[in-house]
Structure 1
């Protein structure tokens, strides 16, 4: 049985959600693992995560033609043109597989638009957040869905997105890649450190309307440090459009005056922004719609959420994570919210612990091993 693992994204943030499964599935007799990447950076990242297991894996580099390359240079900052072109122009590589494991839903275009009928499709979501984009009808197209825990499963079942027979709970493979060593020390002082982690969604993100004021406030004070580490896709594109919300925003650069301050660390998309370096090192979370809040509460700590769009969120399942901290509607409320986080850091501990337990299944078996076993059990091996 040939099991393919596809990595076909502008950024590297999805890789840790499925790559650990590769090292486990090659342990099964009769299984050949094939890694398909669309950039040298992706392949290098997967190889680094696999270590010696990479020697048991067949790597395939997916390429696109000159016309597609030219169009991508024009469109890459506003649309995922290259991702779709990579699927369309490499159909023989996908047709050779029995199973294709992906961390996103775009790959279903192989079957739904490009007519590929061969492989069975397995989805391991790259995150465990609450946004509506994580619960869309397109998800019904997968043959097997591997989920982090009961929270996501129950919502998908209720929406009819999965069936009892086509899913399994396996935990969160990304956690299998995280170093248990003490968090990295990023500042030469003992002040509390805030992680500002805005999403790229043009409606829900605080970056476009509040980000400049957030940076200005942290720049002029000396009470806390600040890590600015947005979702990596915020930095990848200039123009962010949401078909769902029918809104568009343009991303401005961060001014040099903020990058040069000793108590502010800016990271617009390095490896540290996706490997939990910052979620492990900081003391207070400041965000909006990013699913990284669920990685944050692996160790309960204060969280503050910026309601940039004025959402009526309290009873909305898309904002369930906002119950894990304090929600503020304007930057003027930030100083008081930070004071509360410092003086009463355990205010939301019970809610965070309950949310973590519901979101992530943890057993004595690594999530990646559980995922590999679920794939082989479902589709068999020669």
Structure 2
């Protein structure tokens, strides 16, 4: 079997979710190709795939016009990603399967008719936002999921069937020493990680972010790591098809740079390899799925309800049950005091959520389980010829850009 691993995004945060699976398959003798849309992606994949494995690397290109259009729109409409899909159809058609961590690739079926190509999806995260549970998931032939929480919600929504999905755990964990606690500051203060999302409606950076930085700049009890979702500062203009919102992201005021107790990182590799989620003591955020990587080791969480959500009983905010939820910065000092006074207050809920979110198997790494699931699926479907019958999923939804 011939399997491609497609990395077609502006940033590097999706790579660790599927690259270790490619390494496992290559080690088992499967014909594996890594398809990257930038040299930076290739370097990151090479860092995660042991040297000497028979893996083929391919750099994908697109037209100069697509690159110019992408630049002019600030990436809000991902012309470059779309162009890479359209201009490499013959390459994609030569594979038995493509493994992807995003949903834009479903255009290969919904728009370009590559119906003989098996699309295998492993979501790049295990969060609760509604964008992770859209109808576009039905376009995939096989879906690899982290645990019961995501699988059960997808089954209830009719996005997968019991036959075309498999719980494999969280392959990204295979790339990290989860017991290692990086040292970021040269002091023994407790460290807070502020991790806002980029969504135009949901992000706390939009209305509260500067106040958060002001609070930590003016106190001397805590260190602060400001490490938002890597896409927040990748673009100035953010658009949400889900919430029909546009937002010009504000810049970070210069007064916050150079402070010895504040680390600002808007997108280095440390923001994507769990360095900060391992190093900090208290999580401060809004809707990012990184909170589930955080609770792998239970610790206090504080969530900023900057958009006045009616969140209780809403599955899109299930993670807000794992810590304190506050509606204003005025409530932050008291929330921090509670976190310090009783750091295990939500530990039992976090432990249960972690177990449901990640199908942990102490005997086998997640990437190994995923590799086995992929080969079993492809062997079982190799004698089947299946036409495309799901065109009721709208092309606009299928693109998703997620």
Taking structure 1 as the reference length, the TM-score comes to 0.97
5-14 vs 113-122, greater mean Cα deviation: 113-122
Q: Deviations over 1:250-308 (max 9, x none)?
A: 11221121011111000000000010000000000000000000000010000000001
* Deviation, structure 1 residue 68: 1.4
Q: 1:256 aligns with which of 254, 257, 277?
A: 254
Q: 2:233 aligns with which of 215, 232, 235?
A: 235
Query: Partner residue of 1:157?
Result: 155
SS at match of 1:196: strand
Q: Deviations over 1:342-378 (max 9, x none)?
A: 0110100000000000000111100000000001001
Q: 1:166 aligns with which of 164, 167, 170?
A: 164
1:116 to 1:76, Cα distance in 2 relative to 1, 3 A: farther
Q: Deviations over 1:233-265 (max 9, x none)?
A: 101111111121122211122112101111100
Aligned residues: 380
Q: Deviations over 1:37-70 (max 9, x none)?
A: 00000011101110225x4011111101121122
Query: Partner residue of 1:49?
Result: 48
* Deviation, structure 1 residue 181: 5.5
Q: Do 1:76 and 1:82's aligned partners in 2 also have CA atoms closer than 8 Å?
A: no
CA distance in structure 2 between the partners assigned to 1:343 and 1:126 by the alignment: 34
SS at match of 1:235: coil
Over the aligned positions, Cα root-mean-square deviation in angstroms equals 1.2
* Deviation, structure 1 residue 118: 2.8
Q: Do 1:146 and 1:371's aligned partners in 2 also have CA atoms closer than 8 Å?
A: yes
SS at match of 2:203: coil
SS at match of 1:87: helix
* Deviation, structure 1 residue 209: 0.5
Query: Partner residue of 1:7?
Result: 7
Q: Name the structure where helix makes up a greater proportion of residues.
A: 1
* Deviation, structure 1 residue 76: 3.3
Query: Partner residue of 2:389?
Result: none
Q: Do 1:195 and 1:285's aligned partners in 2 also have CA atoms closer than 8 Å?
A: yes
Q: 2:192 aligns with which of 191, 194, 198?
A: 194
SS at match of 2:185: coil
Query: Partner residue of 1:348?
Result: 346
Unaligned ranges ≥5, structure 2: 383-402
1:181 to 1:298, Cα distance in 2 relative to 1, 3 A: closer
CA distance in structure 1 between the partners assigned to 2:258 and 2:56 by the alignment: 44
* Deviation, structure 1 residue 320: 0.2
- After superposition, residues 75-154 of structure 1 pair within 5 angstroms as 75-154=73-152
Query: Partner residue of 1:369?
Result: 368
2:21 matched to 1:21? Answer: yes
CA distance in structure 2 between the partners assigned to 1:77 and 1:145 by the alignment: 27
CA distance in structure 2 between the partners assigned to 1:41 and 1:198 by the alignment: 24
Q: Do 2:143 and 2:166's aligned partners in 1 also have CA atoms closer than 8 Å?
A: yes
